[in-house]
Amino acid sequence: MFACSNGQCVESYLVCDGRTDCTDGSDETQDLCNGFITCPSYAFRCKYGACVDESAKCNGIKDCVDGSDENLPECKTNTQVNQTIGTKCQGRNKFKCKSGKCINKASTCDGIRDCQDGSDETLLLCKNVQCSKYAFKCDYGACVNKSSECFGKEQCSNGSVQEHCKPITPIPAVENHKNISQSSIESTTQSNNMQKCMVPNTEGTIYYYNNINQKNVLPYHTQVDQNTLVYEDCEADYYKVVPTRFMVCLESGQWEPLVRDQLCLKKCPPMTSDSLDIQCSYNGEPVDCSKSSINGTKLRPSCKSTHSLPNGQIETPVELYCQSNGKWSGQLYTCVPQCGKIVPPSKPLIFHGVTAYYGTAPWNVGIYRRDKNNNYKMHCGGSLITSNLIISAAHCFWESDSTNKIIMNNGKYKIAVGKYVSNILEMDNEFTQIIEVELIYINNNFFGHTGFYAYDIAVVVLQTKVKISYMVSPVCMDWTDKFSIPNDGSLGKIVGWGKTEHMVQSSTLLEASLPYINHTACRNMYRNGFEVFVTSDKFCAGTKSGQGVLEGDSGAGLTFEHDSLHYLTGVTSDKDPNTNDSIALFTDVSYHLQWIRTIYTNYSN
């Protein structure tokens, strides 16, 4: 381990690698790096002493902390190489073929044509590559396994290895070898004293012969002949700390170089959230955390603009780190949708005496039922209380011969949010979403007309969650009975697609403001027999003349404003058919809070 100046510890192989792993940058300084390491032949030495891959030069990415790999004279003049080395491929260790395909930089100049156009194996690209003494240099500059001279295969992409091939006597395989522990590197001896090297078992690392047509992966404990070049790569969900690494089996039966540092580190899992905006960066550059992340990636979460922390908590800045063990330094928290907020008026939708605007009731839901012609028609309204639950009226789904209070949807119902035109086929704005219903809970004490529409309330469960935005968001629920019953005459808001004053079904969303009438006053208004429908869980809203609800508005939510937020107070239930006024009955949501809460808890977890 390396001790940073600020006391932080990082892995020793991360020192002087071109990237700052110490938060104070003390692992990438000139004083340290100029005397700390000697760069191998295939590496480029940064001005301050760090080593990065040779292909890092002039690739449009600052692989050296000081940017010295991008400030070279050839970076300005060698335009042809710049066309070959990809600057638009994602990732610092990627190479862009002339065809546009992106490959790993470690796959260039290795004798294998990974680009279909061969642009990764050209004289221009490979002529300056320095091969190790254990490798064979192809005519155009690529480096291949020296032992491939006698494998009888064309290891160079132009076949130049064949001109130098010399026959050798194959060595018989060893039947027995000594067991080795994980990450150990041991040797074994044959009866003729020819020692072989054994492929180690290292977490996340695979070993292979680099043949021209394919990678010949070597199982752990495979015995490898002397002078054989073996390449290293990483398994899925691991990443390499250096672009290229290989080892050669020496006559002593040991690997050279004898590298003990891990090549492959485990990636941290993807991080996504429906309620959080997640910003991630690596070495100061933005990265996508919805994919696996590498060690050193920083993650900063924050509630989406349409969400906030529950119970009025104040959000404080949090930063998570992807650690070398493949785990994030902490967990994401969850935000909840902001409820009951309306959007300031921006665009009028109708002019039938009452005007509704985009965002006037973001919680409003249209419920559609399939008819005998398999067309979905507007049937009832509802109110979104969370991203997958809707409150509506039980009579919208009730069938008199049914005894089941949990209705499994078989495609009969769909819902729409962000909708202002009633036609389900018309996607009238970017926020409109059409979602399938999974099932419907009807209160166990609801029995339709024979039960005088008491307990006329239902909870609709959606198959998928709606996408929350300013134009689609839930209404507030007064779970703790914090607010008192509205005073008589207090105005509540309701929207819907019911019939207009001309008794014509509205094709666009209508809005009305209705005065509250308490249960007792409401019941005393009727002396014609309708009073039996004013059950204990009902109140009234409306006036003898003016705005109100009509047929088609069933299930729509009536909200009242508290502390500038709209709370669901009633659900449109019934209306005396013998009167011409606009007064209607509403199911009191507070009367059914415990029943709603049980369902809410089951589906919010």
Question: Is position 17 within any domain?
Answer: no
Q: Supply 480's token pair.
A: 């703790």
Asked whether residue 568 carries a pLDDT value surpassing 80, the answer given is: yes
| Rounded (5°) CA angle 408-412-603 | 40
* Residue 403 and residue 425 in contact, taking contact as beta carbons nearer than 8 Å: no
Question: Is position 493 within any domain?
Answer: yes
Q: Supply 498's token pair.
A: 């019911």
Nearest of 553, 157, 207 to residue 380 by alpha carbon:
553
Asked whether residue 84 carries a pLDDT value surpassing 60, the answer given is: no
Give residue 350's pLDDT band: very low, low, confident or very high (50, 70, 90).
Answer: very low
Q: Is the pTM of this model over 0.75?
A: no
| Residue 7: per-residue pLDDT | 82
End-to-end C-alpha distance for the chain, whole angstroms: 42
| Residue 214: per-residue pLDDT | 65
Residues 295 and 389 in one domain: no
Rounded Cα gap, residues 184 and 521, in angstroms: 86
Rounded Cα gap, residues 116 and 100, in angstroms: 10
| Residue 290: per-residue pLDDT | 92
| Residue 348: per-residue pLDDT | 33
DSSP H or E stretch at residue 265? strand 264-266
Residues 281 and 388 in one domain: no
| Residue 260: per-residue pLDDT | 64
Domain's final residue, options 243, 265, 287: 265
Q: What is the DSSP letter of 111?
A: S
Instruction: Give CA separation, 2 vs 14, 111, 130, 257, 296, in Å.
Output: 9, 37, 30, 21, 15
Asked whether residue 230 carries a pLDDT value surpassing 70, the answer given is: yes
Query: 406 — phi, psi (to 5°)?
Result: -120, 110
Rounded Cα gap, residues 53 and 520, in angstroms: 83
Residues 317 and 429 in one domain: no
Q: Give 279's strand partners.
A: 300
Give residue 83's pLDDT band: very low, low, confident or very high (50, 70, 90).
Answer: very low
Q: State the average pLDDT over residues 372-385.
A: 93
Q: What letter represents residue 161's amino acid?
A: V
Question: Is position 527 within any domain?
Answer: yes
Specify burial of residue 50 (Cβ count, 10 A radius: 0-12, 13-18, 19+): buried
Return the CATH number at 228: 2.10.70.10
Residues 377 and 484 in one domain: yes
Residues 470 and 386 in one domain: yes
Neighbours of 208 (CB within 10 A): 16
Give residue 535's pLDDT band: very low, low, confident or very high (50, 70, 90).
Answer: very high
Residues 6+ apart with CB under 8 A from 558: 492, 493, 494, 514, 541, 568, 569, 570, 571, 572, 586
Rounded Cα gap, residues 292 and 404, in angstroms: 46
* Residue 533 and residue 452 in contact, taking contact as beta carbons nearer than 8 Å: yes
Residues 516 and 582 in one domain: yes
Give residue 191's pLDDT band: very low, low, confident or very high (50, 70, 90).
Answer: very low
- What confidence tens digit (pLDDT) does each residue in 284-324 have? 889 999 999 988 999 999 998 888 898 878 888 899 999 98
Q: Domain total for the chain?
A: 3
| Residue 524: per-residue pLDDT | 92
Q: State the average pLDDT over residues 228-237.
A: 87
Question: Is position 536 within any domain?
Answer: yes
Rounded Cα gap, residues 293 and 579, in angstroms: 67
DSSP 266-299: EPBPP---SSEEEEEEETTEEE-TTS-B-TT-EE
Residues 376 and 323 in one domain: no
Give residue 393's pLDDT band: very low, low, confident or very high (50, 70, 90).
Answer: very high
Residues 292 and 323 in one domain: yes
Specify burial of residue 438 (Cβ count, 10 A radius: 0-12, 13-18, 19+): middle
| Residue 481: per-residue pLDDT | 84
Asked whether residue 344 carries a pLDDT value surpassing 70, the answer given is: no
Nearest of 123, 65, 59, 118 to residue 93 by alpha carbon:
59
* Residue 286 and residue 280 in contact, taking contact as beta carbons nearer than 8 Å: yes
* Residue 266 and residue 326 in contact, taking contact as beta carbons nearer than 8 Å: yes
Give the torsion through C-alpha atoms of 439, 445, 451, 454, to 10 deg. -90
Residues 421 and 542 in one domain: yes
Residue 587, classed as helix, strand or coil, is strand
Give the torsion through C-alpha atoms of 491, 586, 565, 313, to 10 deg. 150
Residues 386 and 306 in one domain: no
Q: Give 571's strand partners.
A: 557, 587
Instruction: Give CA separation, 108 vs 12, 55, 139, 155, 526, in Å.
Output: 27, 9, 15, 13, 88
Q: What letter represents residue 364's amino acid?
A: N
- What confidence tens digit (pLDDT) does each residue in 149-184 have? 444 345 676 666 544 554 333 333 333 333 333 333
Q: State the average pLDDT over residues 409-415.
A: 90
Q: Which residues of 60-87 are buried (b: 16+ CB within 10 A; e: fewer)?
A: ebbbbbbebbbeeeebeebeeebebbbe
Rounded Cα gap, residues 218 and 200, in angstroms: 10
Rounded Cα gap, residues 95 and 192, in angstroms: 45
| Residue 161: per-residue pLDDT | 55
Asked whether residue 192 carries a pLDDT value surpassing 50, the answer given is: no
Give the torsion through C-alpha atoms of 75, 77, 80, 82, to 10 deg. 20
Nearest of 59, 68, 58, 126 to residue 86 by alpha carbon:
59
* Residue 248 and residue 134 in contact, taking contact as beta carbons nearer than 8 Å: yes
Instruction: Give CA separation, 209 vs 119, 144, 189, 331, in Å.
Output: 22, 10, 22, 41
| Residue 597: per-residue pLDDT | 93
Neighbours of 228 (CB within 10 A): 18
Nearest of 143, 123, 148, 121 to residue 133 by alpha carbon:
143
Query: 357 — phi, psi (to 5°)?
Result: -120, 155
Question: Is position 79 within any domain?
Answer: no
Q: Which tops the pLDDT comparison, 352 or 556?
A: 556
Q: Which domain holds residue 324?
A: 276-337
Return the CATH number at 437: 2.40.10.120
Residues 375 and 446 in one domain: yes
Residues 202 and 221 in one domain: yes
Domain's final residue, options 237, 265, 293: 265
Question: Is position 135 within any domain?
Answer: no
Mean pLDDT of the chain: 80
Question: Is position 6 within any domain?
Answer: no
Domain's final residue, options 322, 337, 352: 337
DSSP 199-217: ----TTEEEEEE-SS-EEE
Rounded Cα gap, residues 4 and 14, in angstroms: 11
Question: Is position 139 within any domain?
Answer: no
